[in-house]
Structure 1
């Protein structure tokens, strides 16, 4: 049995006015909330314990998802307060609820056909990230990938610059020694890269970021409203 963290604490500012009264992960695509598609896919990959971190309109999540029993999973909620703690701070706060190590992490505001069951159960380093070809809104990518290892700059000959697809497998040590509060994961990634402890894979399947009304409309046109 695997555990997972779904990142759902963002304010959804670029998605306004749709997110004035509905958290972005609860916006519907193909007849159900974005986050439910992740829960169903995680359950199909034998993930039975899921933590959802929340902030903006947090009360809507338990109303919509309950305890997860309808999908055969157990859902617990990590409330971060009215101001989200960023990815790093949110992950650190959720660690006591997550329990297991390592664990899958996925952002609620993407849509993809990544096979969660195929992700490594034991990453070689502190994290293993799913990388995607650079989308038009992020043409320069995030990290370079060569032979399964990620690099911060160009990397060795033959390395390819790619964008982090917001899906990964993490060990708790990537954040567990940080001070509680609001912080990003990027400094932890760079530290892991310097130590040769950040791995990755290229994913060429369907992947979309869902950050704006236009991106949501495009996805709905593809997947169904």
Structure 2
């Protein structure tokens, strides 16, 4: 699942006419980076949730995009704006999409740039064998989140309370069972359009030792401001030039 329903308030005025996940980083839409990485890992059935200017996203990619050099994707859209008049927050959006997802699924934000992250089947296999309800990738704390989000034990458990905390990358593997009682009381499919954040659900499961994690140290940027977007594009390699005729 690619999360693409946010308004992108901090990115205004860039997001006044363009949904944040379609803002270009290094000559392609921001959300296309994780889409391509998922396809490269063999994960070609995607769910994308939308709200603000969501029709632009579904129009851009359609149902079966064939991205350059990558496997064809099959995309289902969960249009929260159309169905409920606004975004349902992260957990609300995931629960809304549960009927379209499997028992185990990836979730990645469409506004995070992690060009070297690999969505690997081996990670899914380890997660299945672990019996955990979620596995999170944490990153070193950026300047805008120096206090971090979650700790990491020596045994690989994500911790709600820890002396040292890392930032949640937004990339994770989940079991559908996490989004059911006792951790989540929103019915599958979220027919009432309940807005629900993800962090309280994760923290409750962490306190039961049901969430694992690992540290990812590759390039990672939460593209939350025009300045961060500009910095990424300023550091982009030059565009390829056409060979002489």
For normalisation by structure 1, the TM-score amounts to 0.92
Q: Give 2:242's aligned residue.
A: none
Deviation per CA, 1:86-144: give whole Å up to 9, x if none.
0000000011112x121000001011121111533325311000000011100010111
Q: Give 1:138's aligned residue.
A: 145
Query: Which residue of 129, 132, 139 maps to 2:136?
Result: 129
Number of matched pairs: 216
Is 1:109 matched with 2:111?
Answer: yes
Rg larger for = 2
Secondary structure class of the residue paired with 1:161:
coil
Contact kept in structure 2, 1:24 and 1:109, CA below 8 Å: yes
Q: Give 1:23's aligned residue.
A: 19
Q: Give 2:227's aligned residue.
A: 214
Structure with the higher strand share, 1 or 2? 1
1:1-225 aligned within 5 A: 5-71=1-67, 72-81=72-81, 82-98=85-101, 100-112=102-114, 113-117=116-120, 119-121=123-125, 122=128, 124-146=131-153, 147-154=155-162, 160-177=164-181, 178-179=185-186, 180=190, 181-224=194-237
Contact kept in structure 2, 1:102 and 1:171, CA below 8 Å: yes
Matches of 1:210 and 1:68, distance apart in 2: 26
Matches of 2:62 and 2:32, distance apart in 1: 11
Give how far 1:69 is off: 3.4
Secondary structure class of the residue paired with 2:59:
helix
Contact kept in structure 2, 1:6 and 1:51, CA below 8 Å: yes
Matches of 2:207 and 2:17, distance apart in 1: 42
Matches of 1:192 and 1:9, distance apart in 2: 25
Where structure 1 has 5 or more consecutive residues not aligned to the other structure, the ranges are: none
Give how far 1:68 is off: 2.8
Contact kept in structure 2, 1:25 and 1:35, CA below 8 Å: yes
Secondary structure class of the residue paired with 1:192:
helix
Contact kept in structure 1, 2:152 and 2:158, CA below 8 Å: yes
Secondary structure class of the residue paired with 1:166:
strand
Contact kept in structure 2, 1:124 and 1:199, CA below 8 Å: no
For normalisation by structure 2, the TM-score amounts to 0.84
Give how far 1:11 is off: 0.5
Matches of 1:91 and 1:224, distance apart in 2: 35
Give how far 1:145 is off: 0.1
Give how far 1:224 is off: 4.8
